[in-house]
Amino acid sequence: MTLVGMALRNLMHRPWRSGLSVGGVVLAIAAYVALVGLVVGIEGTMVDGFTSRGADLVLSEAGAEDILSSVVPDDLAAEIATTPGVAAASAELGRLTSMNDGPTIYVLGWAPGAFGWASVDFIAGRAPEPGDAGGGVAGGIGVGRALADRHGLKIGESVSIFAAPFRITGIFEAKSVIVGNGAIARLSDVQAQTYRKGQATALVAQFDPGLDGAGREAVMADLRARFPALAVDPTETLIDEFMNLRIARVLAWSVSSVAIVSAALAVLNTMAMAVNERRGEIAIMGAVGWPRRRIILCLIVEGMVLTLIGSVLGVGVGIAAAWGITSAPAVAGFVVPVVETATILRALALGIGIGLIGTLGPAWRAAGRDPAAILRGH
């Protein structure tokens, strides 16, 4: 018999109460893991959308809430491309829109010769060309394989995008989830259908190969000086700029915090009740020579076992919930949840914290009670 063995027996002795407390911890940890996993996933999907096509830098409208709200002149791409240290630059126009009045998809408009074209692999058909527009057709469009598979799209088929008919010219594979679940058309065709002639949402650029960190910083400083109305961000830190993602992060933390505080209260309640019911048992521990710290440790172990079981289950449930949420039709293809090892470790640490907060108080109080009064039945 060990302290852990005693804790397990006590928990199993009251299976309903223990089960409900574990359930509270599972919900809290699952909420944390799922929400953080989704936010990190959204951030990662966005960053991946740029990095997978070789963009080192993203230039967008300074102060824009997010990349899709940004408006920048597309002709700046040529100027940016001439900046020393910049290998290539191109304009792109990204929009979220419905396809055939149905699912929302991400549509990108890329200029001819944009380096992004090299990052997608047309496994059937071809990329859109200038001659695709005309005769009642707004233009050609390439669709990602995941999007084509999900909606049974075929080459030559006409799809309604921006309430205009686009003809599918090819199906491509992309490394990025969001691009692979979206569609790519020519920049001019997208501009024409969205009343954004001469406009783009972002200008993407590649550094000269071999440029070191200091060189990259110098290029960015140069661009910021030359284009003060633009936000110049390396793709890795792009997400820090956008208000919507910051709000999502705060919301994730807020909801997680509420769940975690609720779980701590549930454990506190469980342990307070358990300790109160077992005053006699705790008193006899003191009477047979258990020092106060061992009695407290015994009760803490009980709370910790409860919360550790809940935390481990919570991590599993959280991962499953995150994947379940992202497979819902409304968001499928936009987000891949990312549950990092650090998130799991933080979740387990939170679980341990819940156990300590919920257990320490009742344990301390119980171990400090006068055993004589309890043993004599007073």
Partner 1 sequence: MTGDIAIRAEGLVKRYPSMHRAALDGLSLMVETGEMLAITGPSGSGKSTAMYALAGLIGLEAGRVEIAGRRPEGRADWTRLRAGPIGLVFQEDWLLPTLSAAQNVAMPMVGGRRRARDRLIRAEALLAEVGLAGMGARAPAGLSGGERQRVAIARALANDPSILLADEPTGELDRDNSRQIVRLLSELSARAGVTMVIVTHDPEVAAACTRQVRLVDGRIEGGP
| Pick 2 or 82: Cβ nearer partner 1 | 2
| Pick 175 or 294: Cβ nearer partner 1 | 294
Which positions from 11 through 40 interact with partner 1, judged by CB under 8 A?
12-13
Stretch touching partner 1 by CB under 8 A, among 1-9, 132-140, 152-160, 212-220: 1-9
DSSP string of 197-211, one letter each residue: TTEESEEEEEEPTT-
Stretch touching partner 1 by CB under 8 A, among 9-17, 147-155, 158-166, 226-234: 9-17
CB of 291 to partner 1, least distance (A): 5
DSSP string of 212-226, one letter each residue: -HHHHHHHHHHHHHH
Which positions from 172 through 201 interact with partner 1, judged by CB under 8 A?
none
Determine, following the binding rule CB under 8 A, whether residue 283 of this chain makes contact with partner 1.
yes
- Which one among 139, 286, 333, 351 touches partner 1, defined by CB under 8 A? 286
Determine, following the binding rule CB under 8 A, whether residue 371 of this chain makes contact with partner 1.
yes
CB of 309 to partner 1, least distance (A): 17
Strands 230-234 and 72-73: unpaired
Contacts of 13 (CB under 8 A, 6+ apart): none
- Which one among 198, 291, 324, 329 touches partner 1, defined by CB under 8 A? 291
Number of shown-chain residues binding partner 1 (CB under 8 A): 27
- Which one among 16, 195, 289, 328 touches partner 1, defined by CB under 8 A? 289
Q: Judge whether 72 and 201 are in contact, CB under 8 Å.
A: yes
Query: Which residue matches tokens 């109080």?
Result: 365
Contacts of 224 (CB under 8 A, 6+ apart): 230, 232
What ranges in the chain are assigned the alpha helix state H? 3-13, 15-51, 76-81, 145-151, 177-180, 187-193, 213-226, 243-277, 279-287, 292-326, 341-367, 371-375
Phi-psi region of 147 (alpha: psi -120 to 50; beta: other; left: phi over 0): alpha
- Which one among 214, 288, 328, 330 touches partner 1, defined by CB under 8 A? 288
As a whole number of angstroms, the distance between CA 261 and CA 279 comes to 27
- Residues in contact with partner 1 by CB under 8 A are 1-3, 6, 9-10, 12-13, 280-281, 283-292, 294, 370-372, 375-377
